[in-house]
Amino acid sequence: MAISSAPVKMDIQHLTALYGSNRAVQDVSIAVPEKEVTAIIGPSGCGKSTLIRCLNRLHETAPRTRVEGVVLLDGEDIYSIDPTWVRRRVGMVFQKPNPFATMSIFNNVSAPLRFNGRPSREELDQAVLRALKGAALWEEVRDRLDSPATSLSGGQQQRLCIARALAANPEVLLMDEPCSALDPIATARIEDLIAQLKQDYTVIIVTHNMQQAARVSDNTAFLYLGKLVEYGPTEELFERPKEKLTESYITGRFG
Amino acid sequence: MNEAPPAEPGGRRGYDLQIRHLKDRGVQLGQFAFAMFRDGWRAFDQGDLAAAQSVLDRGDELDRLDEDMEHATIAFMVLRQPTAVDLRTAAALLKITTHCDRIGRLGFDMARITSAGPGNEPSDLRALLQRMDEVVESMVRQSLDALDRDQVELAQSLFKRDDLVDQMHRQANRMIIANLESTPSLAPRLANDLLVARHFERIADNACKVGEKTIYALTGQRRSEYLPRHPTRPYVLETPRPEPSETSGPVGRSRSSGPRAP
């Protein structure tokens, strides 16, 4: 389902994700526009996180899992190519900040580059600078790059994780409830950052917070019991949803 | 209407009650404005200065109700962050409040030009103005009823009658001009009649706007999606030809921004 005039970056076609015989995501099709923010909302257990974990092939790393359907990245099926390559192009930020606890700020951000090759010190410096600036963290840490990542506040740690994801120079950034462990000030900074990130990246964000989805996203998909109920421009979906189920959910009259 | 709203329970039930309460306040404001319009017209028509004064005395209360309603609606939006039908209802109520306020203000303006004793305009003109009042009063009542009872069809039926009011307005203008030419001594009254006919036309437009916003709140549909706008032509007042015919008259459409039937 295409909803934007922007080119489709990631085309999810009839995607089904299984844990054993349990279908956590069922026949979901979403065309994700390039350099826009697409939010995925829905109640707990509706398959939001499972869905985005299928978009960088993380789902298949859990035991007894299976994926059916197609996910095209710039027209190329991500399930027909090397998963490492997919994860380099499709970065991910998780619910809780998960910096490498034993590493410095600099080493956290440069880790993906060092895992993927043997860059020179100058290349690392440039990449870390770019990633930290991209994650709006540079000004706060420029004087203490060698400090442990764990010395940062929760909000800073989450931006550090975003910087780490950006360091690999991805095209798509998946964010799985990136603000759920943060206070309102740190949340606001991440939301501001998301608005900046979409100038260079395609962002897909899972959130429980509907106001956040309304604030940060261009498009919103509503999932219920693993199925896509409605997908459309965010403004449209929150102002006049087409489906009664969507309206019940976003107005809190569910069940 | 002045007392504080009743305490509402928290949670989902409190939220639903708050929306209902907001809507009730919108309807109450509309009824207050409607009474100002109705009483303002009657005072003008019958030349009742005491009745006119009672309408003028309600101006401050109308302002207060308008302000209170706006405050309550904005507070609801800020504190409850509504979406979908609830968001549309709150947004519609903000606009409806303004339209109701204008209806009351136009009644206020009718009261302000009231002079003692019955008017001396020709009886056919007076009868036409009375007929306009009947149609416009029923439109305002109907618009508030549609808002109160969530009636989309009732709101939709307003638009046809707005066209009727526009026709009557043009007819009144022609009659007033003809009488100004034939009986200049009636000019002071006829000038006020011209204003009153215009006020009726504006009140009908505001009633339609209340209907439009009610439809938007209930369905999400905006006016342009169900009622295409007519091209607007300049408003030309011409000296009437003998026995003017409504359907063949050369007078252009009103410049009014109100809704029009296709």
Q: What is the mean pLDDT of residues B17-34?
A: 96
Q: Does B5 touch chain A (CB under 8 A)?
A: no
Task: Please check whether residue B65 lies inside any domain of the structure.
Answer: yes
CA-derived radius of gyration, chain A: 18
pLDDT for B239 beyond 60: no
CATH of residue B17: 1.20.58.220
B156: distance to nearest CA of chain A, Å? 19
pLDDT for B137 beyond 60: yes
Task: Please check whether residue A53 lies inside any domain of the structure.
Answer: yes
Give me the half-sphere count of Cα atoms (radius 13 Å) on the Cβ side of residue B195.
18
Does the distance separating the beta carbons of B81 and A240 come in below 8 Å? Answer: no
Give me the half-sphere count of Cα atoms (radius 13 Å) on the Cβ side of residue A116.
16
As for how many domains chain B has, the answer is 1
Q: Which of B83, B213, B226 to mutate to test the interface with A (most CBs of A within 10 A)?
A: B83
> Which of the two residues, B230 and A53, has the higher pLDDT score?
A53
pLDDT for B253 beyond 80: no
As for how many domains chain A has, the answer is 1
Task: Report the distance separating Cα B65 and Cα B31, nearest Å.
Answer: 11
Task: Please check whether residue A192 lies inside any domain of the structure.
Answer: yes
Place of tokens 């895992």: A115
Q: Nearest 5°: phi and psi at A232?
A: -170, 180
Task: Please check whether residue A157 lies inside any domain of the structure.
Answer: no
Task: Please check whether residue A156 lies inside any domain of the structure.
Answer: no
Residue A116's pLDDT is what? 77
Does the distance separating the beta carbons of A246 and B83 come in below 8 Å? Answer: no
Instruction: Give per-residue pLDDT as tens, B62-89.
Output: 999 999 999 999 999 988 889 999 999 9
Q: Among positive and negative, which fits the CA dihedral B131, B133, B136, B140? A: negative
pLDDT for B258 beyond 60: no
Q: Does B87 touch chain A (CB under 8 A)?
A: yes
Task: Please check whether residue B262 lies inside any domain of the structure.
Answer: no
Measured in residues, chain B has a length of 262
* CA B181 to centroid of chain Cα atoms: 31
User: Considering only CB atoms, which chain B residues are within 8 Å of A251?
Assistant: 82-86
Task: Please check whether residue B106 lies inside any domain of the structure.
Answer: yes
Q: Where are the alpha helices (DSSP H) in A61-100?
A: 83-89
pLDDT for B226 beyond 90: no
Residue B5's pLDDT is what? 52
Task: Please check whether residue B208 lies inside any domain of the structure.
Answer: yes
Residue A248's pLDDT is what? 94
Give me the half-sphere count of Cα atoms (radius 13 Å) on the Cβ side of residue A170.
32
pLDDT for B235 beyond 70: no
Task: Please check whether residue B250 lies inside any domain of the structure.
Answer: no
Give the model's confidence band at B237: pLDDT under 50 very low, under 70 low, under 90 confident, else very high.
low
Task: Please check whether residue A1 lies inside any domain of the structure.
Answer: no
Option in B81, B82, B84 nearest A240 (CB): B84
Q: Does B226 touch chain A (CB under 8 A)?
A: no
Of all residues in chain B, what percent carry a pLDDT higher than 70? 83
Instruction: Give per-residue pLDDT as tens, B185-198.
Output: 999 999 999 999 99
pLDDT for B8 beyond 70: no
Task: Please check whether residue A16 lies inside any domain of the structure.
Answer: yes
Task: Please check whether residue B234 lies inside any domain of the structure.
Answer: no
Task: Please check whether residue B248 lies inside any domain of the structure.
Answer: no
Residue A2's pLDDT is what? 59
Question: What does pTM read for this prediction?
Answer: 0.79
Cβ partners under 8 Å of residue B175, min gap 6: B122, B124, B125, B128, B240
Q: What is the mean pLDDT of residues B161-172?
A: 96
Q: Are A141 and A132 in contact (CB under 8 A)?
A: yes
Domain that residue B55 falls in:
11-226
Query: Average pLDDT, whole number, for chain B?
Result: 88
ipTM of the complex: 0.73
Task: Report the distance separating Cα B256 and Cα A78, nearest Å.
Answer: 58
User: Considering only CB atoms, which chain B residues are within 8 Å of A247?
Assistant: 84-85
CATH of residue A177: 3.40.50.300
Q: Are A47 and A230 in contact (CB under 8 A)?
A: no
pLDDT for B109 beyond 50: yes
A97: distance to nearest CA of chain B, Å? 28
Task: Please check whether residue A220 lies inside any domain of the structure.
Answer: yes
Does the distance separating the beta carbons of A252 and B84 come in below 8 Å? Answer: no
Domain that residue A88 falls in:
8-97+171-250
Q: Which of A238, A251, A253, A254 to mutate to test the interface with B (most CBs of B within 10 A)?
A: A251
Give the model's confidence band at B90: pLDDT under 50 very low, under 70 low, under 90 confident, else very high.
very high
Task: Please check whether residue A136 lies inside any domain of the structure.
Answer: no
Residue A253's pLDDT is what? 85
pLDDT for B112 beyond 60: yes
Q: Are A178 and A205 in contact (CB under 8 A)?
A: yes
Q: Which of residues 192-211 of A touch B (CB under 8 A)?
A: 210-211
Task: Please check whether residue B261 lies inside any domain of the structure.
Answer: no
Q: What is the mean pLDDT of residues B80-100?
A: 95
Provide the residue-wise pLDDT of chain A in tens; the chain has 255 residues. 557 889 999 999 999 999 999 999 999 999 999 999 999 999 999 999 999 999 999 999 999 999 999 999 999 999 999 999 999 999 999 988 999 999 999 999 999 988 877 889 999 999 999 999 999 999 999 999 999 999 999 999 999 999 999 999 899 999 999 998 888 888 888 899 999 999 999 999 999 899 999 999 999 999 999 999 999 999 999 999 999 999 999 998 876
Residue in A with minimal Cα distance to B19: A251
